[in-house]
Structure 1
Amino acid sequence: MRRADRLFQIVLLLDRGRAVTARELADALQVSERTIYRDVADLGRSGVPISGEAGVGYLMRPGYRLPPLMFDAEELAALALGSRMVRSWADPALGRAAERALMRIESVLPQALRQDPARDALLVPGFHVPEAMRAPMTALRASIAAHHKVRIAYARADGLASERVIQPLGLVFWGETWTLGAWCELRGGFRSFRLDRIAHLTPLDEHFDSTGMLVRYLMSVQQEDDQASPAPSTKQE
């Protein structure tokens, strides 16, 4: 990584509203703490308002505006690939947002970087992800963000249908399948629900406390599915 790029990354890492230690910065950028000390000192001399306190870390003082963004060819390829994944595999609202974001980035690029055959050759077909798999995503994302419970009509793999109230925690893509990680009030435990088996969903006004629940859900999936597979083999309804 070029030093200029490293300095910019340090500014980004410090512009998150919390103190960051030299060790955290060194680990993130794969350099020594001595290098971080020198870089932060140089940033301070150049006018970047960084505060530092022993035992606490570095913190960006409020009011600093980052300089305009610039990307190299590999970073642009990664952004383009991610945008195409979202457009092909996620719900239409997220797909349109990803396309708008990429257009904003491309609008400020130098002409030489706007067209890149290597970047255009990164293709993301979406025909293997059926519409039924993406259809519930917009409503579920809203309920996850608001920490609101959802009532769903759901059909298991064996065809058994049920209606249940769940606490939605996160959406997980497994290559061909989207699942919803949730706390199921009917089962009294974490469950994974395939989105294409949700026949109907109704967002509820009832709020739930999601603190730490997504981490606990992921830990339960990891603990109970120790064999590599494209989707969780246990606790999937």
Structure 2
Amino acid sequence: MRRADRLFQIIQVLRRGRGPVTADAIAAELETSKRTVYRDIADLIGQQVPIRGEAGVGYVLEGGYDLPPLMLTAEEIEAAVLGAQWVASRGDPALARAAQDLIAKIGVAVPERLRPLILEPASGAAPNWNALPDRLDMAAVRRAIHGARKISLTYRDEQERESERIIWPIAVGYHETVRLLVAWCELRRDFRTFRTDRVAGAQFLEERYPERPATLRARWRKAKLAQAEAMRAQSVTAKAS
């Protein structure tokens, strides 16, 4: 790998990291030595790239630093286009339009030699013919999540029984045929997942819920992990008995 490419990849590794990234981890990903990573980090810092950290602890790329879009690699372009194609065929109308706009913007931004990767991609997402319709405004749902605002929901379960809920929406899951709204349910005092095709009515409230969406998402992921571990433990116990 050329040195210029390696410096670029180090920035990419740090940018995608959620916390400090060690020289060991960087060296393993780039298939180089820690000594080279230390030298490259020092060079990047000397070039005013806002990296902080130290050897043995890890490095972080501070916010506010970015690279021009023309620095996308061929693989990154294909990944972005494939992902946008998937969203365009499976997302709600607002996201589908945004995905199509994204593909168009990438086509304008990249060098001409890379445009065939967009116009004639080697891979593509198949259309989703079996998607069930949403029964609420998904763009409004995303705004409620970003704004930490509550939703009053009328929901039908699989037996067609209706219930009234006040929920704190935190995430939307896009599956092949259905979309799932993850939320804290005031009625159940716990996290619940609602199929958007089973929503009978929704009112988007101005009232904010008291916790940050990111905090609730972290709690939800922790609860799902604990649930999965408990199920694995039960399975091991059942096999042993």
TM-score category (smaller protein):
0.7 to 0.9
- Given the alignment of the two structures, is residue 74 of structure 1 paired with residue 71 of structure 2, yes or no? no
In the superposition, the TM-score normalised over structure 2's length comes to 0.77
> Does the CA-based 8 Å contact 2:21-2:59 persist in structure 1?
yes
> Does the CA-based 8 Å contact 1:81-1:124 persist in structure 2?
no
* Counterpart Cα distance in 2 of 1:198 and 1:27: 49
Aligned residues: 227
Match of 1:7 in 2: 7
> Does the CA-based 8 Å contact 1:22-1:37 persist in structure 2?
no
> Does the CA-based 8 Å contact 2:90-2:176 persist in structure 1?
no
- Higher mean alpha-carbon deviation, 173-182 vs 188-197, is at 173-182
Match of 2:124 in 1: 122
Q: 2:219 aligns with which of 210, 216, 232?
A: 216
> Does the CA-based 8 Å contact 1:171-1:179 persist in structure 2?
yes
- Higher mean alpha-carbon deviation, 88-97 vs 161-170, is at 88-97
User: Whose helix proportion is higher, 1 or 2?
Assistant: 2
* Counterpart Cα distance in 1 of 2:179 and 2:63: 39
Partner of 2:177, secondary structure, is: coil
Do the aligned partners of residues 53 and 130 (structure 1) sit closer, same or farther apart at CA in structure 2, a change above 3 Å counting?
same
- Post-superposition CA distance 1:55-93 (Å, at most 9, x none): 765455787663453233322211111001111111222
* Counterpart Cα distance in 2 of 1:150 and 1:127: 29
Match of 1:231 in 2: none
Show structure 2 runs of 5+ residues with no match.
Answer: 233-241
- Post-superposition CA distance 1:149-180 (Å, at most 9, x none): 11001000111111110111111123322111
> Does the CA-based 8 Å contact 2:82-2:123 persist in structure 1?
no
In the superposition, the TM-score normalised over structure 1's length comes to 0.78
Instruction: Report the AA paired with residue 110 of structure 1.
Output: P
* Counterpart Cα distance in 2 of 1:143 and 1:205: 9
Show structure 1 runs of 5+ residues with no match.
Answer: 229-237
- Post-superposition CA distance 1:84-110 (Å, at most 9, x none): 111111122222222222222211323
Do the aligned partners of residues 160 and 100 (structure 1) sit closer, same or farther apart at CA in structure 2, a change above 3 Å counting?
same
- Trace 1:65-144 onto structure 2 (pairs within 5 A): 66-116=67-117, 119=121, 121-132=123-134, 135-144=136-145
* Counterpart Cα distance in 2 of 1:85 and 1:162: 33
TM-aligned CA deviation for residue 185 of structure 1: 0.8
RMSD: 3.3
Do the aligned partners of residues 164 and 27 (structure 1) sit closer, same or farther apart at CA in structure 2, a change above 3 Å counting?
farther
